[in-house]
């Protein structure tokens, strides 16, 4: 088994005091070095994505806006907290290019699977708008690379970052060749405020956006049920040829920005389920793309656990344990979603 790691840490896309800073990647790479895992991985030196690759998922105006802001030295890019530095444009191209590069390696048989550890993250970046610390949509660019360059017909993007992947949803909302499934916390005032179960796509894309909006504190059992009872059956019907995972580690109970209640063991469980689905439907072709995760211990251990799973190791690290409070039962929500998406 060859597992490829593409690293695009974006050291000079960083802002003091901002949760999405280079400090995340410093913690992560230190943990990887200490883990001994690097000896088992192959490495891809990323190349920046081309404008042509980005044009498959973004408007020229958006790409030019980011380039222009970067050339001026950076600043805030939206009303929220999405920032740029003078280097951001080039570094965001590198993040997207790392993802398309891993797709190339998997599709040409150089690697079996891979993980792009990249910043800035991407899943909030819409067709024509940056948002939520995201500049360019890395996972979306990877999906289009598989389709346009390698002739893949159906790609599934599964997003388990605790925030709804509004950007990826926006890009593929009218598309029936990319199934987008997002499992996220859906609560009043919680970013980005969309991702309800009635957002299912439009036109040809109707039924190819699959939102699983969770209440707070669902925890390991609820998440496991979502992947067994909802995601699995939907993938089975879609029959993807390539699986992309928008891997955010902010659904962990210790994350400072959210309260989804997942443990590291719970994350590892759903990772293994996704690998099983990739084996069943996609010949094992699966790419993990880093999104959020702001508690550095969680982020580091979460990523190490994904590598153990990708390499077929029977190892799960969970020094932090499960959340203290009881888990929210989601039986009723699962029934409603099964009915709504005609899974039964
Ligand atoms: Zn997030």
Q: Confirm if 65 and 73 have CB atoms less than 8 A apart.
A: no
Cα-to-centroid distance, 130 and ligand 1 (Å): 14
Q: Which of 13, 123, 124, 163 is catalytic?
A: 124
- List the structure tokens of 255: 């994350």
Q: Confirm if 249 and 293 have CB atoms less than 8 A apart.
A: yes
Let me know if 58 is a catalytic residue: no
Cα-to-centroid distance, 191 and ligand 1 (Å): 9
Question: In CATH, which superfamily holds the domain spanning 3-13+21-340?
Answer: Histone deacetylase domain (3.40.800.20)
Q: pLDDT by residue (tens digit) across 155-213? A: 999 999 999 999 999 999 999 999 999 999 999 889 999 999 999 999 999 999 999 99
- Best CA proximity match to 327, nearest among 248, 257, 256, 266: 266
Cα-to-centroid distance, 328 and ligand 1 (Å): 20
Q: What is the pLDDT of residue 344?
A: 74
Q: pLDDT by residue (tens digit) across 11-69? A: 999 999 999 999 999 999 999 999 999 999 999 999 999 999 999 999 999 999 999 99
Q: What is the pLDDT of residue 80?
A: 87
Cα-to-centroid distance, 250 and ligand 1 (Å): 6
pTM of the full structure:
0.98
Average pLDDT, the chain: 97
Cα-to-centroid distance, 159 and ligand 1 (Å): 10
Q: pLDDT by residue (tens digit) across 305-341? A: 999 999 999 999 999 999 999 999 999 999 999 999 9
Cα-to-centroid distance, 277 and ligand 1 (Å): 23
Q: pLDDT by residue (tens digit) across 96-110? A: 999 999 999 999 999
In eight-state DSSP terms, residue 252 is B
d(CA 30, CA 26): 6
Q: What is the pLDDT of residue 183?
A: 98
Q: Phi-psi category of 104—alpha, beta or left, where left has phi over 0 and alpha has psi -120 to 50?
A: alpha
Dihedral of alpha carbons 139, 144, 149, 153, sign: positive
Q: What is the pLDDT of residue 58?
A: 98
Please, which pLDDT band fits residue 115 given cuts at 50, 70 and 90?
very high
């Amino acid at each position: 088994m060859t597992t490829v790691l593409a690293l695009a840490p974006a050291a000079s896309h960083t802002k003091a005091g901002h949760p999405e800073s280079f400090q995340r990647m410093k913690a992560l790479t230190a943990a990887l070095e200490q883990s001994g895992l690097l000896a088992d991985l192959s490495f891809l030196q990323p190349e920046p994505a081309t404008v042509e690759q980005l044009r498959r998922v973004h408007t020229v105006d958006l790409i030019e806006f980011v380039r222009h802001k970067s050339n001026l030295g950076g600043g805030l890019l939206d009303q929220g907290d999405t920032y740029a530095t003078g280097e951001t444009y080039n570094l965001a191209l590198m993040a997207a290019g790392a993802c398309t590069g891993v797709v190339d390696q998997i599709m040409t048989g150089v690697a079996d699977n891979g993980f792009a550890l990249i910043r800035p993250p991407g899943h909030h970046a819409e067709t024509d708008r940056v948002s939520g610390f995201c500049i360019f949509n890395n996972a979306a660019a990877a999906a289009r690379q598989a389709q346009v360059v390698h002739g893949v017909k159906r790609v599934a993007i599964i997003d388990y970052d605790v925030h709804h992947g509004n950007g990826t949803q926006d890009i593929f909302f009218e598309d029936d060749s990319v199934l987008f499934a997002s499992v996220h916390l859906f609560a009043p005032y919680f970013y980005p405020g969309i991702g309800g179960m009635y957002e299912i796509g439009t036109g040809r894309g109707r039924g190819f956006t699959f939102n699983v909006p969770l209440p707070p504190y669902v925890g390991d059992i609820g998440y496991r049920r979502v992947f067994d009872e909802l995601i699995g059956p939907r993938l089975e019907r879609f029959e993807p040829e390539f699986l992309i995972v928008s891997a955010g580690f902010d659904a962990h109970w210790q994350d400072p920005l959210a309260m989804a209640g997942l443990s590291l063991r719970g994350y590892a469980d759903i990772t293994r389920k996704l690998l099983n689905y990739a084996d069943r439907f996609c010949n094992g072709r699966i790419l993990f793309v880093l999104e959020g995760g702001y508690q550095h211990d969680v982020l580091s251990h979460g990523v190490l656990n994904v590598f153990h799973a990708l390499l077929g190791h029977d190892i799960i690290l969970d020094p932090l344990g499960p959340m203290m409070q009881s888990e929210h039962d989601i039986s009723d929500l699962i029934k409603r979603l099964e009915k709504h998406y005609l899974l039964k």
